Amino acid sequence: MSRPDFREFGRPRRVEGGLRAATARGAIGTSWWSRRFLDVLESFALGTRLTRGRSYARSGQVLDLDVAPGAVTASVQGSRSRPYAVRIGLAVFAEPVWARIEESLAGQALFSARLLAGDLPPELEEVFAAAGAPLFPASVGELDLSCDCPDFAVPCKHLAATFYLLAEAFDADPFQLLHWRGRDRAVLLSRLRRLRTGASEPAPDGAVGPVAAGAGAALAAGDGPVGAGSTADTAGAAPAAAEVECDGPPAGSAGQVLADLPDLPLADAVDRYWLPPVPVPPRPPVLATEPDLVLRQLGAPGAAVGGPGLAERLRRAYQRFAAD
């Protein structure tokens, strides 16, 4: 295959409304996770292609960018009339792997708290590694890179530009990185909440568990809710349901903490009203987050109010406020 002569293509066409990198100079990527991701790109030693890709990212040549499980796709405007189609593929983790990761994350209150706050703790990378599923690709061989431009090199400058814009997308919403690996933000946080509270997984559509079956039988017979005084106690399956429902307060609940306290009249308990009924546990560690966390969660504002440039100025202001 002969090397194409790129002199015939000229300069890239100007783009209106393209995606622009927030940083006009210097390094792209502000969070530890976006920098770790860009380390993979920069380890390819692309030379001028890397420089041109960064220039494309800052001049708005990337028209759109979409992150989906297993694949990032983008359209990048070059010198030709038709934009080039770019794809960066990465294997998603299987469900058993995600189950192990979620169990580990739920076992650490600080991890869950930071994830629920929209932040990724640096220790997250170790959690994924311990589960046998490294969060970041270790080499170019783990990525499926493609671009329909005439440049035979992979990655080309169009792929490099997509890498840089993707890193900033990870800065704005770190859950995009996990989404790329196969776990949606809403699903992950929902499962972490259930694991932290000990709640069971919701039943699939149409499935009826023991408690629901007992209640359904009672309602079908025209009775009220299952419980004391209801006729469901004689409905066959209902006693088992009652035993499940009334098996004491859930672990860690207020009912469990107060169950053994004497029921004193208010007049005899006034002097202890503001004291805890049981020893208060030690104060948990302070949740440390970056000062621009809210900006990352909200994303870049619209062009009418300043666009990514305004977000960058606000980020620097937040950092100065935090330093003071």
**Per-residue pLDDT at 237 exceeds 80:** no
91/239: higher pLDDT: 91
Among residues 174, 197, 220, the one where a domain terminates is: 197
Q: Does residue 318 form part of some domain?
A: no
Tokens 């208060």 belong to 280
My answer on whether 215 and 117 are in the same domain is no
Q: How far is CA 63 from CA 18, 19, 60, in A?
A: 5, 6, 7
Q: Mean pLDDT over residues 193-201, rounded?
A: 75
Q: Does residue 276 form part of some domain?
A: no
Residue 280 backbone phi and psi in degrees, to 5: -80, 130
Neighbour tally for 34: CB within 10 Å: 22
Q: Mean pLDDT over residues 92-107, rounded?
A: 92
pLDDT tens-place string over residues 44-87 = 655 677 788 888 999 999 999 999 999 999 999 988 889 999 99
**Per-residue pLDDT at 209 exceeds 70:** no
With contact defined as beta carbons under 8 Å apart, do 75 and 63 qualify? yes
36/324: higher pLDDT: 36
Tokens 């030379």 belong to 47
With contact defined as beta carbons under 8 Å apart, do 83 and 169 qualify? no
User: Comparing C-alpha atoms, which of 199, 207, 246, 205 is closest to residue 225?
Assistant: 246
Among residues 197, 225, 257, the one where a domain terminates is: 197
Q: At what angle do helices 32-42 and 157-172 cross, to 10 degrees?
A: 170
Give the integer Cα–Cα distance in Å for 141 and 131: 21
Q: Does residue 262 form part of some domain?
A: no
The pLDDT value given to residue 226: 38
Range from 186-195, 239-248, 300-309 that averages highest in pLDDT: 186-195
The pLDDT value given to residue 47: 65
Q: Supply the pTM of this predicted model.
A: 0.58
My answer on whether 89 and 136 are in the same domain is yes
Q: Mean pLDDT over residues 177-204, rounded?
A: 81
Q: Does residue 303 form part of some domain?
A: no
My answer on whether 185 and 214 are in the same domain is no
My answer on whether 171 and 22 are in the same domain is yes
Q: Does residue 317 form part of some domain?
A: no
Tokens 């990514």 belong to 308
- Per-residue HEC secondary structure of 117-167 comes to CCCCCCCHHHHHHHCCCCCCCCCHHHEEEEECCCCCCCCCHHHHHHHHHHH
Could you give the percent of the chain with pLDDT greater than 90? 21
Among residues 160, 176, 197, the one where a domain terminates is: 197
My answer on whether 221 and 193 are in the same domain is no
Neighbour tally for 51: CB within 10 Å: 12
The pLDDT value given to residue 179: 94
User: Comparing C-alpha atoms, which of 70, 57, 74 is closest to residue 165?
Assistant: 57
The amino acid occupying position 128 is F
The amino acid occupying position 173 is D
The pLDDT value given to residue 276: 62
114/4: higher pLDDT: 114
My answer on whether 59 and 137 are in the same domain is yes
My answer on whether 217 and 89 are in the same domain is no
Q: Does residue 175 form part of some domain?
A: yes
My answer on whether 164 and 183 are in the same domain is yes
The pLDDT value given to residue 212: 37
Give the integer Cα–Cα distance in Å for 105 and 183: 14
Range from 153-162, 216-225, 261-270 that averages highest in pLDDT: 153-162
Give the integer Cα–Cα distance in Å for 163 and 175: 16
State the total domains in the chain.
Answer: 2
My answer on whether 185 and 220 are in the same domain is no
Q: Does residue 308 form part of some domain?
A: no
Collect all residues with Cβ–Cβ distance below 8 Å to 184 and sequence separation of at least 6. Answer: none
The pLDDT value given to residue 108: 81
Range of the domain at 228: 208-246
My answer on whether 142 and 213 are in the same domain is no
My answer on whether 136 and 241 are in the same domain is no
**Per-residue pLDDT at 21 exceeds 80:** yes
My answer on whether 221 and 147 are in the same domain is no
36/202: higher pLDDT: 36
Q: How far is CA 168 from CA 55, 89, 114, 132, 150, in A?
A: 14, 18, 20, 27, 27
Q: Does residue 293 form part of some domain?
A: no
Neighbour tally for 63: CB within 10 Å: 16
Give the integer Cα–Cα distance in Å for 226 and 215: 6
How many Cα atoms within 13 Å fall on the side-chain side of residue 135?
Answer: 23
Residue count of the chain = 324
Range from 79-83, 89-93, 261-265 that averages highest in pLDDT: 89-93
DSSP result, 8-21: GT-SPPP-SS-B--
User: With 0-12 CB in 10 A as exposed, 13-18 as middle and 19+ as buried, what is 127?
Assistant: buried
The pLDDT value given to residue 64: 93
Token pair for 130: 């311990």
The pLDDT value given to residue 275: 66
